[in-house]
Chain A
Amino acid sequence: SMLPLMSTPRITTHYTIHPRDKDPRWEGVEMERFADEADVVIVGGGPAGLAAAIRLKQLANKHEKELRVCLVEKAPQIGAHTLSGACLEPSALTELIPDWKERGAPLNTPVTEDVFSILTEKYRIPVPILPGLPMQNHGNYIVRMGNLVRWLGEQAEELGVELYPGYAAAEVLFHEDGSVKGIATNDVGIAKDGSPKDIFERGMELHAKVTLFGEGCHGHLAKQLYNKFNLRENCEPQTYAIGLKELWMIDEKKWRPGRVEHSVGWPLDRNTYGGSFLYHLNEGEPLVALGFVVGLDYTNPYLSPFREFQRWKHHPFVAPTLEGGQRIAYGARALNEGGCQSIPKLTFPGGLLIGCSPGFMNVPKIKGTHTAMKSGMLAAEAIFPKLTAETLDSETAGLHVPEYAENLKNSWVWKELYAVRNIRPSFHNYFGLYGGMIYTGIFYWIFRGKEPWTLKHCGTDANQLKPAKECTPIEYPKPDGKISFDLLSSVALSGTNHEGDQPPHLTLKDDSIPVARNLGIYDGPEQRFCPAGVYEYVPLDTGNGMRLQINAQNCVHCKTCDIKDPSQNINWVVPEGGGGPAYNGM
């Protein structure tokens, strides 16, 4: 194909790609940062980060020690970037805060009905959930995770944790000996073209004896730490899925509080991993949380996870629940599927990885919150004695706490993940979904994962896409505006917003690759896998050729693009803190 001969219009202006020390516009700008010291700094105010913070303060109070714990979170308020199904297994929460019920934790909907189906285009094959299968939900609660996270934030503040929502950790700081010294928050007041504005202000440095990184699935700082400390040399690459979710206020007659529905099959083909969830909440109004998950190892670049989600809602088993209802929220987030094969080294001098960032999700159960919280608690319990010891036992300036990783390996987190380790990889066979279900039925249900082998994944998700010419475009139905919707009106419901005049935070290592490679070979799959319409290929002003337009303001921070870009050219970095989605109880 003919490539455009004119130079590529400049897309990326972010300083991580175009350093400021060589940029004349930054000459003479004061770059010194204010620094402050804490005992522990936690990056990320999600279940793992907050559980770690709470556990640290509980231990400090119990042993009458002073501990300064600071937590930074990019969302404008705690919980605003949280998105999950979710069916919570309360085990870790009960360990952390045994009296969570008296304290008003928002676990209001015990699961009363649990339904699993294989869908075909018109029909539904019920699958019995036998006791012992991972997807059984007895004893669990349907929760609005954003509300639970907000409640955890209140518990943390009560214990004296310093929470700073609206401030993103943008940079990892290092001591001279190479150990982690802490983080720096994002600068503010940089214009879209990368130049400093009048209101430019440097972020601040938060130094700590040890830093916990709980950025959630595919964190951008974790990505840097993997490289710096070689944390992934002995594990498989992480594999992911994208989860899209909506909240609906439905007709009261259709409301069945406590009901949990999951499905696999239609509209995905048997070789594309994924499925749906639909949960009836019980918080005083007929609210339903529903969504669709697609494994990011899919091969067809014409696949659009968003449009698969929208068309699934029209299935005869699903649509009646939604008819007469009103959609009130939308969002999306990537999630881990790699299981224990993909867990990296968890500790390095000065820092630890917790939660979905290293990735402790139990894939067949589709639950990762209980393990994320437990990992945060284990991290706190491993750090505490070292922090408060008489002599600081560390070869490096930043504390190294390998005990955390050992304790995790000996905990129920590892046992649980080990038992289900072969279920997800078992889908990589000729029979796809059906092979996987048979494997689960035999080896998990009967042998509880005790088989002596460990199946491997297929490599990175980014490498799975086939060139567009080898694949068939998928004909998706038009949204009907009542049950299914178009992308832009969906993005509006995520409440996402960013300060417009800032460099796009979806940075490209090389601005010419999208048109040359992504569009040329794969027909621009980012137009389809981004659940927020950030990426658009539009004609050049001159008429001949296309260019990539990045609508950074739409971004919902799902991280899918960084994961699935076949050229691995997109590097997601944090935008100015406070931007991004405004999820409310998602």
Chain B
Amino acid sequence: LSCKVLSSVVTPCYCFVSPQIRVKPDNTGVVTDGVKHSMNPFCEIAVEEAVKLKEKKLIKEVVAVSCGPQQSQETIRTALAMGADRGIHVDVSGKDYENLGPLQVSKILAALAKQEDAQLILLGKQAIDDDCNQTGQMTAALLDWPQGTFASEVSLEGDKINLVREIDGGLEHIKINTPAVITADLRLNTPRYATLPNIMKAKKKKIVTVKPADLGVDVTSRLEVLKVEEPPQRQAGMKVETVEDLVVKLKEAGRV
């Protein structure tokens, strides 16, 4: 396969420091000021897989894409340091960024795939900040391409792709045609470190900035967030001495 791979670096997501997550006083979302944005771990795995395919000379070029404000470029630089060839930054900021969801990102990726004449789109299976797990699937649908989601093994065979998918029942082996969309699951690979010399070299690689409108994509959201709340405080448990006590307490609580 001598093809270009569009490796999507999904919108940089927030580092997991869960006890520090606070809901904004106006309940419209969580506080993100000053919180470090880093590459979504599943996207790191996707980038790693793309770079591996290039190193095996099975694909020609890896393009890293990120949708978001100016800081997204740092995430693209990390992908470039890992081995991607060039980057595309789709500039979305402010309110548009807060409302950016899988459907809009999928439309953007579909438009880019057509523009770049990509044969393969590799993404992380889901972002760890919103856990949607929708972008890969929607992108495939918009392009009418086959999809191999939750991939834990990928191998190219001629112009087809052999995939092992991690599913509830075990491991599913499928073969799909190209062009295709693949989403990476945890066990696909172990991403390499972005070493400092590579970060320095990455500064010389090109990142092009485009706007969603340039791609003909409308990023208005179909969803409205009504409220974001902290989960309820965990109530203390209760210890009982005997089984009879347990049954009495359960009856009191209306559970039996």
Find residues 317-360 in chain A having any chain B CB closer than 8 Å to their own CB.
328-329
Q: Interface-forming stretch among A57-65, A97-105, A172-180, A199-207?
A: A199-207
- In the complex, 23 of the A-B residue pairs with CB atoms within 8 angstroms, ordered by the A residue number, are A76-B38, A77-B36, A79-B34, A146-B34, A147-B34, A185-B196, A188-B193, A201-B193, A203-B195, A203-B196, A328-B20, A489-B19, A492-B19, A493-B19, A495-B15, A495-B17, A495-B19, A497-B17, A582-B15, A582-B17, A582-B36, A584-B34, A584-B35
Whether B161 sits at the interface, judged by CB under 8 Å, is: no
Query: Closest residue to B19 on the A side, CB-wise?
Result: A492
- Which of chain B's residues have a CB closer than 8 A to the CB of A328? 20, 22
Query: Closest residue to B203 on the A side, CB-wise?
Result: A162
Contact with B along A70-105 (1 / 0, CB 8 A): 001000110110000000000000000000000000
**Measured CA separation A241–B190 after assembly (Å):** 42
Binding site for A on B (CB under 8 A): 15, 17, 19-20, 22, 25, 33-36, 38, 190, 192-193, 195-197, 199-200
Find residues 123-157 in chain A having any chain B CB closer than 8 Å to their own CB.
146-147, 150
Find residues 452-504 in chain A having any chain B CB closer than 8 Å to their own CB.
489, 492-493, 495, 497
Query: Closest residue to B16 on the A side, CB-wise?
Result: A497
Determine how close the nearest CB of chain B comes to the CB of A164; give it in whole angstroms. Answer: 6
Query: Which one of A34, A185, A204, A493 contacts B20 once the chains associate, using CB atoms below 8 Å?
Result: A493
B192 contacts A199, C-beta separation under 8 Å: yes
Q: Tally of A-B residue pairs with Cβ under 8 A?
A: 55
Whether A368 sits at the interface, judged by CB under 8 Å, is: no
Whether A541 sits at the interface, judged by CB under 8 Å, is: no
**Measured CA separation A328–B23 after assembly (Å):** 11
Query: Which one of A147, A164, A189, A198 contacts B196 once the chains associate, using CB atoms below 8 Å?
Result: A164
- Which of chain A's residues have a CB closer than 8 A to the CB of B196? 72, 164, 167, 185, 203-204
**Measured CA separation A185–B38 after assembly (Å):** 21
**Measured CA separation A341–B235 after assembly (Å):** 55
**Measured CA separation A77–B34 after assembly (Å):** 10
Determine how close the nearest CB of chain A comes to the CB of B244; give it in whole angstroms. Answer: 32
Determine how close the nearest CB of chain A comes to the CB of B75; give it in whole angstroms. Answer: 12
- Which of chain A's residues have a CB closer than 8 A to the CB of B25? 285
Binding site for B on A (CB under 8 A): 34, 36, 72, 76-77, 79-80, 146-147, 150, 162, 164, 167, 185, 188-189, 198-199, 201, 203-204, 285, 328-329, 489, 492-493, 495, 497, 582, 584-585
A34 contacts B192, C-beta separation under 8 Å: no
B15 contacts A164, C-beta separation under 8 Å: no
Assess A80 versus B193: contact at CB under 8 Å? Given A495-B20, A582-B20: no
- Which of chain B's residues have a CB closer than 8 A to the CB of A150? 34
**Measured CA separation A146–B25 after assembly (Å):** 22
**Measured CA separation A199–B193 after assembly (Å):** 7
9 smallest beta-carbon distances between A and B, as pairs: A495-B17, A584-B34, A492-B19, A34-B197, A188-B193, A204-B196, A204-B197, A167-B196, A77-B36
B20 contacts A584, C-beta separation under 8 Å: yes
Determine how close the nearest CB of chain A comes to the CB of B82; give it in whole angstroms. Answer: 12
**Measured CA separation A185–B197 after assembly (Å):** 10
B19 contacts A198, C-beta separation under 8 Å: no
B36 contacts A189, C-beta separation under 8 Å: no
**Measured CA separation A79–B193 after assembly (Å):** 22
**Measured CA separation A557–B116 after assembly (Å):** 46
Query: Which one of A189, A492, A585 contacts B34 once the chains associate, using CB atoms below 8 Å?
Result: A585
- Which of chain A's residues have a CB closer than 8 A to the CB of B35? 584
A198 contacts B34, C-beta separation under 8 Å: no
Query: Closest residue to A328 on the B side, CB-wise?
Result: B22
Query: Closest residue to A79 on the B side, CB-wise?
Result: B34
**Measured CA separation A585–B20 after assembly (Å):** 12
- Which of chain A's residues have a CB closer than 8 A to the CB of B38? 76
B197 contacts A76, C-beta separation under 8 Å: no
B20 contacts A329, C-beta separation under 8 Å: yes
Assess A198 versus B190: contact at CB under 8 Å? Given A77-B36, A584-B34: yes
**Measured CA separation A34–B201 after assembly (Å):** 12
- Which of chain A's residues have a CB closer than 8 A to the CB of B19? 489, 492-493, 495
Query: Closest residue to A285 on the B side, CB-wise?
Result: B25
- Which of chain A's residues have a CB closer than 8 A to the CB of B193? 188-189, 199, 201
B192 contacts A36, C-beta separation under 8 Å: no
Assess A188 versus B195: contact at CB under 8 Å? Given A76-B15, A198-B190, A328-B22: yes
B36 contacts A76, C-beta separation under 8 Å: yes
Determine how close the nearest CB of chain B comes to the CB of A63; give it in whole angstroms. Answer: 25
